[in-house]
Each structure stands twice: as structure tokens, then as C-alpha cells.
């Protein structure tokens, strides 16, 4: 059962996770559908990705080298030209460059350390945006004040991140006064209390148009010891980490982020675990990485795993999340599907959030998940 809500000027009555109806909604509030596009050295094929069903494309990633923003892959320039053709057919589409990510966040702390190094980066970012005719920049620093993937980090990251955003906002506004165009600044944010403790979200919101809240990877094999949901909407009492999308949204709102600037993240992929017990069909049982790798993109799960080859789909009605379990191999897979995404869209409407973000286009199956988001929110 969904647990409350009385939010703002309206109340919500829901019967169950799936198939719920809102009694009142903020119908006039346009919702964003934000998609991360990660192509590596591949060329974008717009006909295969459902690019028309999103409001914003976050092109991943640009890198930081010597305090300068640089192209991430040799195919980027050609891909920007392809995306520009998509935008000409859909003028409301916004294309942003996302800089950093899990693998390329190592240069942020050094770059943000002084006003001179920040100015060097911002100048390069503006040149990058102008050269590729982009609509803005997404700062994907994983994470200020934290090691992330073994990155340099400092306590000063907390204030320096705010300074970067403020100076970037001023510079992009100056550019906009010349071009007659508004340039967006967004951030991909962690969904944990540690992230909030190492940032100044209330101040940062003066400069950010919205945040892409990464409400997934809540339980990761190898990093955690219990097989939990990748992206639960609500917290299951058996969850030892007590994390969920709902808990993250509440903590960010308490930290000063208005719901109208929160874009809720959903994964188009899952996580596979080998569990030590078949109790509860593996859910929140001790476990670790699977013995043989499993590609857990939604597309591969549909073709090879969901109710196939010994895997049975189950539904956690408390968390509003599906999962697969193979009792013969003791394999547990947590993922999102159309049913869980419909519930998250209901939640976005109820909490008056700005929209939904997903990682990433290429993991979908015939754009099934993206089409679900489009049908529910737009």
C-alpha cells in the first residue's frame, strides 16, 4: 500500500501500487522526460532510440582534463550534428552535454579549487556549448566531498561546487544576452544523505534549473551484502538500508530543494545477485555478485529472463518494484518494468515533481519503458 499523502494543496488517495488513480493532480504542470544518451564511440541511430519521446537529452559524457572540458569520444561531434537534426523536427527538445559521470569525475575537485581554475573550465564549457549548438550543461560530479570511484576530494568541495554553479550561471546568462537564448544548468545528484551533507543544495538551487536525482543503485552486488531492490519507490521494512526513491525525495525537499526542481531517476537496467537463501524468493537475503555475468539491460531481461529459463517474476507491493528469482541457481534480479514505472509516474504527479530521468536510452526494449513514461506523463 502507498502510505499517505497530503501534499501542498491537494490530497491523494491510492488503493494499491499498481493501477492507482489520483483524485487530484497538478494537470497544468508540464512534466519533463530526461534521457541520458551514452553512445561511447558509436554513432547515434535516432530511429532506434525513441528520441522524440523526451524533452531533454543528456549527452554523456564530456571529460575534464587540465581544468578544461573536452570531448569524451571521437564520435561526439558527428553525434551532435545528428541530434541537431532531431531537434529541428522537435524544436522544444533540449540537448545538454553531461560532464563527468562515475568514470570521469576525478578532475572536479581540482578544477573547482580556485576561482582561476573554475574560470578556465567555464570558459571551455562555453566554447563547447557554442561549438556544438547545445542548450546547456549537466554537471555529473560523483561526488563532491566523496571519493566516488577513487577520486580526489576535499571538504572544500562543498562550497566550491556552489561557487562553480554561481559562476557558470553568470557566464551562461552573459552568453544568453548575446545569443537571445537561455542556457540550462542541471546536475545529476546522488540520492544519499552523504551527498546532501557534502553539498549546499538550498544555495545550489539558485543556479540549477533542476536536478536529476539518481534514485537507483540503492543495492549493488559487490558493494552491498544484501540483495535488495535496485530502485524501490518506497522502503520495505525488511530493507536494512531503509532507502528508497520516496525517502530520497523527502530528504532533498527537507534540504531545500523544491519539488518543482526534482526530476526522479529511474533505471532501464537491473542488478543480478547470487543469494545465500531462497527465503522470500531472495529479496533482502544475504548475497553477492552472480557466479557468471548477466547482462541486465531491460532489453536482455525481456528476451532471456522475465518468466523464462527458470526465472519467475515477483512483485513487492510495499516497494512497488518487480524482481526475478531463479530458485535452482539462487539468482535474484532487481529491475524496473512498465508496471513499476507507471507507479513512479503516479508518484511524480502526486508529489508535484518536475518529471522523470532515465539511464539510459540504449538499455530499453523497443522503447517500451520510454513509451510508458511518455504515455503516463505527457
pLDDT (mean) for 101-130: 98
Q: How far apart are CA 122 and CA 101, in angstroms?
A: 18
Confidence of residue 18 (pLDDT cuts 50, 70, 90): low
pLDDT of residue 13: 32
Confidence of residue 10 (pLDDT cuts 50, 70, 90): very low
Q: What are the cell numbers at 152?
A: 580526489
Neighbouring-strand partners of residue 37: 59
| Average pLDDT over all residues of the chain | 93
Domains parsed from the chain with CATH numbers: 32-267+338-377 (3.20.20.80), 274-332 (3.10.50.10)
Condensed to tens digits (0 to 9), the pLDDT of residues 302-324 reads 999 999 999 999 999 999 999 99
pLDDT of residue 65: 97
Nearest to 244 by CA among 321, 175, 305: 321
Instruction: Say if residue 23's pLDDT is above 60.
Output: no
CA dihedral for 205, 207, 209, 214, sign (positive or negative): negative
Neighbouring-strand partners of residue 265: 357
Confidence of residue 11 (pLDDT cuts 50, 70, 90): very low
Query: What are the φ/ψ torsions at residue 272 (nearest 5 degrees)?
Result: -110, 135
Q: Annotated catalytic, 142?
A: yes
- Among 85, 116, 142, 167, the one annotated catalytic: 142
pLDDT (mean) for 78-86: 98
Confidence of residue 277 (pLDDT cuts 50, 70, 90): very high
DSSP β-ladder status, 32-38 and 10-11: unpaired
Q: How far apart are CA 125 and CA 349, in angstroms?
A: 34
DSSP letter assigned to residue 53: G
Sheet holding 312-316, edge to edge: 287-289, 271-275, 331-334, 321-326, 312-316
Nearest to 56 by CA among 351, 341, 356, 298: 356
Instruction: Say if residue 365's pLDDT is above 80.
Output: yes
pLDDT of residue 26: 38
pLDDT of residue 29: 75
pLDDT (mean) for 196-210: 98
Amino acid at each position: 500500500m502507498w502510505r499517505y499523502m497530503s501534499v501542498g494543496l491537494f490530497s491523494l488517495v491510492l488503493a494499491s501500487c499498481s493501477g492507482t488513480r489520483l483524485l487530484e493532480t497538478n494537470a497544468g504542470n508540464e512534466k519533463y522526460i530526461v534521457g541520458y544518451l551514452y553512445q561511447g564511440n558509436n554513432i547515434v541511430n535516432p530511429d532506434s532510440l525513441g528520441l522524440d519521446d523526451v524533452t531533454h537529452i543528456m549527452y554523456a559524457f564530456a571529460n575534464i582534463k587540465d581544468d578544461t572540458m573536452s570531448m569524451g569520444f571521437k564520435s561526439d561531434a558527428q553525434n551532435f550534428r545528428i541530434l541537431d537534426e532531431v531537434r529541428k523536427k522537435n524544436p522544444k527538445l533540449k540537448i545538454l552535454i553531461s560532464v563527468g559521470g562515475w568514470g570521469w569525475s576525478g578532475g572536479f575537485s581540482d578544477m573547482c579549487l580556485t576561482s582561476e581554475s573554475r574560470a578556465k573550465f567555464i570558459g571551455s564549457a562555453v566554447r563547447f556549448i557554442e561549438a556544438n549548438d547545445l542548450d546547456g550543461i549537466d554537471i555529473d560530479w560523483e561526488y563532491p566531498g566523496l571519493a566516488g570511484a577513487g577520486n580526489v576530494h576535499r571538504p572544500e568541495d562543498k562550497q566550491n561546487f556552489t561557487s562553480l554553479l554561481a559562476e557558470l550561471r553568470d557566464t551562461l546568462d552573459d552568453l544568453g544576452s548575446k545569443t537571445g537564448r537561455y542556457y540550462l544548468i542541471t546536475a545529476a545528484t546522488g540520492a544519499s544523505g552523504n551527498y546532501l551533507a557534502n553539498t549546499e543544495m538550498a544555495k545550489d538551487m539558485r543556479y540549477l534549473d533542476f536536478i536529476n536525482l539518481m534514485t537507483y543503485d540503492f543495492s549493488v552486488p559487490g558493494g552491498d551484502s544484501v540483495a535488495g531492490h535496485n530502485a524501490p519507490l518506497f522502503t520495505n521494512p525488511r530493507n536494512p538500508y531503509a532507502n528508497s526513491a520516496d525517502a530520497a525525495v523527502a530528504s532533498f525537499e527537507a534540504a531545500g530543494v523544491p519539488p518543482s526542481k526534482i526530476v526522479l531517476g529511474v533505471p532501464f537496467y537491473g542488478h543480478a545477485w547470487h543469494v545465500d537463501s531462497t527465503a522470500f524468493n531472495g529479496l533482502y537475503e544475504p548475497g553477492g555478485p552472480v557466479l557468471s555475468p548477466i547482462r541486465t539491460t531491460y532489453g536482455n531481461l525481456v528476451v532471456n529472463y522475465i518468466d523464462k529459463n527458470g526465472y519467475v517474476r515477483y512483485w513487492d507491493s510495499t516497494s512497488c518494484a518487480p524482481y526475478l528469482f531463479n530458485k535452482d541457481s539462487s539468482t535474484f534480479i532487481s529491475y524496473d518494468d512498465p508496471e513499476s514505472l507507471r507507479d513512479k509516474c503516479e508518484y511524480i504527479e502526486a508529489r508535484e515533481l518536475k518529471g522523470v530521468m532515465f539511464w539510459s536510452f540504449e538499455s530499453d526494449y523497443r522503447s517500451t519503458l520510454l513509451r510508458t513514461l511518455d504515455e503516463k506523463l505527457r
